[in-house]
């Protein structure tokens, strides 16, 4: 399954609004991204990630491909592990981003690559023409160049790279079903990894992090600063073309819909806010505080594929109790964070 950073409801809104405002390039790019949400065309069959051989060394094994503005994957290899910078910003940002994700999981959680077994990391850049998205397809990261009017190239945001590769971590651990609340958790956990990777790379603690997903992705014409805000869902943008950020921040605002696989990109705002509240209340670096608890819950083996918000909340509270003690301040911070967004841990 393709997990894209820009949700279909936003692309639909952009396409419709851009047509009304006679922004032909923007409308065409959004429509193309919507159509491209279906089949991924491959030049050759590649094995599933689970069958890839572990890396022979402890460091990352990165390969960056260039799709040369086609939608054929994987593209032409242009930079391999250890090779010098290409001078192409998309290639070099993808290479550095994959390295930052690899370093984060290794240093924070002693996890060797996405599958925990040294999986080689692959990314394709320059996918499609004016392609307004980036996605994880189960085997690799894929980046569009954006339309230049609304979106810049998708390699500019480290949180986007961390988010999409985070889907790979979930794929190899809890493998949460991509619909309804379990799908919203799938998206939220990727947002968690996205901000953690970015904060880790910047040396930020929970108090100084931006808590934004896709910061820097919009051009200057957009009235907004990111695709999503974890600390304040529903405030990331308010723009004539994009509309207003529709993410809820509390279960009282939970959106029941058949679109977006049951609102996976929408309702993820609720557990996103819970995480940011827990991380800032615990203090210090987010990856050693709340991040460690969320990671333990995800990798515990106790989560069902159809896990709902309450069950995941319970798993994080349990993990916090194991880590800091049943009556600890940190465990209570996790409990309070979930209650603040309207979720009662079991």
Domain end (from 171, 190, 223): 171
User: Tokens at residue 166, please?
Assistant: 């985070």
> Which range marks the domain in which residue 146 is found?
3-171
Report helix, strand or coil for 122. Answer: strand
Q: What's the mean pLDDT when you consider all of the chain? A: 93
In this predicted model, what pLDDT tens digit does every residue of 15-59 receive, in sequence order?
Answer: 999 988 888 999 999 999 988 654 433 333 333 333 344 444 579
Residues 6+ apart with CB under 8 A from 25: 130, 147, 148, 149
Q: Indicate whether 137 pLDDT > 70.
A: yes
Residues 32 and 162 reside in one and the same domain: yes
Q: Are residues 71 and 184 in the same domain?
A: no
CATH number at residue 44: 3.10.170.10
What is the CATH number for 228? 1.10.390.10
Cα gap 18→37, rounded to integer Å: 19
DSSP code, position 130: S
Instruction: Using the 3D structure, point to which of 118, 151, 171 is the last residue of a domain.
Output: 171
Same domain, yes or no: 164 and 296? no
Q: Clarify whether residues 75 and 166 are in a common domain.
A: yes
* 3 is a catalytic site residue: no
Report how far apart, in Å, the C-alpha atoms of 155 and of each of 6, 15, 52, 299, 305 are. Answer: 13, 22, 25, 28, 30
The residue annotated as part of the active site, out of 130, 149, 164, 198, is 164
74 domain residue, yes or no:
yes
Q: Are residues 142 and 221 in the same domain?
A: no
Do residue 143 and residue 10 come from a single domain?
yes
- 57 contacts 121 by C-beta, under 8 angstroms: no
Half-sphere exposure of residue 289, counting CA atoms within 13 Å on the CB side? Answer: 25
Identify whether the C-beta of residue 40 lies closer than 8 Å to the C-beta of residue 293: no
- Where does a domain end: 148, 171, 194? 171
C-alpha distances in angstroms, 63 versus 119, 140, 245? 12, 10, 35
Tokens at 7, concatenated: 């949700």
Count structural domains, the chain.
Answer: 2
Same-domain status, 142 and 244: no
Verify that 13 and 144 share a domain, yes or no.
Answer: yes
Mean pLDDT of 229-241: 98
Give 346's pLDDT tier (boundaries 50, 70, 90). confident
185 pLDDT above the threshold of 90 = yes
Q: Residue 335's Cα: distance from chain center in Å?
A: 24
User: Do 132 and 28 lie in a common domain?
Assistant: yes
Q: Is the pLDDT of residue 156 over 60?
A: yes
Mean pLDDT of the region 240-255: 97
pLDDT in tens, 258-303: 999 999 999 999 999 999 999 999 999 999 999 999 999 999 999 9
Instruction: Kindly state whether residue 345 falls inside one of the protein's structural domains.
Output: no
Q: Which helix (H) or strand (E) holds 213?
A: strand 212-213
Q: Which of 149, 163, 265, 330 is catalytic?
A: 265
Statement to judge: residues 118 and 188 lie in one domain? no
CA distance 325 to 55: 37
Q: How many residues does the chain have?
A: 346
Looking at the fold, whether 210 and 101 belong to one and the same domain comes out as: no
- For the segment 290-345, what is each residue's pLDDT rounded down to a tens digit? 999 999 999 999 999 999 999 999 999 999 999 999 999 999 999 999 999 999 99
Is 42 catalytic? The answer is no
The reply to whether 122 falls in a domain is: yes
For residues 71 and 199, state if they share a domain: no
Instruction: Tell whether 236 is covered by a domain.
Output: yes
Looking at residue 37, its pLDDT comes to: 58
Is 346 inside a domain boundary? no
* H-only helix segments in the chain: 8-20, 24-35, 89-109, 158-171, 180-202, 260-267, 269-282, 290-299, 309-324, 329-340
- What average pLDDT does this structure show over 7-16? 95
Q: What is the pLDDT of residues 51-103, one digit of tens each?
A: 344 444 579 999 999 999 999 999 999 999 999 999 999 999 999 999 999 99
Cα gap 153→219, rounded to integer Å: 10
């Amino acid at each position: 399954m393709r997990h894209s950073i820009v949700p279909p409801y936003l692309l639909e809104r952009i396409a419709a609004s851009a047509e009304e405002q006679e922004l032909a390039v923007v409308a065409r790019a959004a429509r193309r991204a919507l159509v491209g949400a279906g089949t991924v065309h491959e030049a050759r069959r590649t094995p599933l990630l689970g069958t890839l051989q572990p890396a022979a060394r402890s460091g990352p094994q990165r390969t960056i491909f260039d799709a040369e503005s086609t939608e054929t994957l994987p593209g032409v290899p242009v930079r391999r592990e250890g090779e010098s910078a290409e001078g192409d910003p998309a290639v070099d940002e993808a290479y550095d981003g994959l390295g930052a994700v690899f370093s984060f999981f290794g240093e924070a959680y002693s996890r060797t690559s996405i599958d925990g077994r040294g999986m080689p990391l692959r990314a394709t850049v320059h996918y499609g023409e004016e392609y307004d998205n980036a996605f994880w397809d189960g085997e690799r990261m894929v980046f569009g160049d954006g339309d230049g009017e609304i979106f810049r190239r998708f390699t500019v945001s480290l949180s986007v790279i961390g988010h999409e590769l985070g889907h790979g971590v979930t794929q190899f651990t809890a493998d949460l079903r991509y619909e309804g609340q379990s799908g919203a958790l799938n998206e939220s956990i990727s947002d968690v990894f996205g901000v953690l990777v970015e904060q880790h790379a910047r040396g930020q603690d929970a108090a100084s992090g931006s808590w934004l997903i896709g910061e820097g992705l919009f051009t200057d014409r957009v009235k907004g600063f990111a695709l999503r805000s974890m600390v304040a869902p529903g405030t990331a943008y308010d723009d004539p073309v994009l509309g207003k950020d529709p993410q809820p921040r509390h279960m009282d605002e939970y959106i029941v819909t058949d679109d977006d696989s049951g609102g996976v990109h929408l309702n993820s705002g609720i557990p996103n806010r819970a995480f940011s509240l827990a991380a800032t209340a615990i203090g210090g670096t987010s990856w050693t505080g709340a991040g460690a608890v969320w990671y333990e819950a995800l990798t515990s083996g106790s989560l069902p594929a159809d896990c709902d918000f309450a069950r995941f909340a319970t798993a994080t509270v349990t993990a916090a109790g194991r880590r800091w003690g049943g009556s600890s301040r940190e465990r209570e911070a996790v409990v309070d964070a979930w209650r603040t967004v309207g979720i009662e841990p079991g």
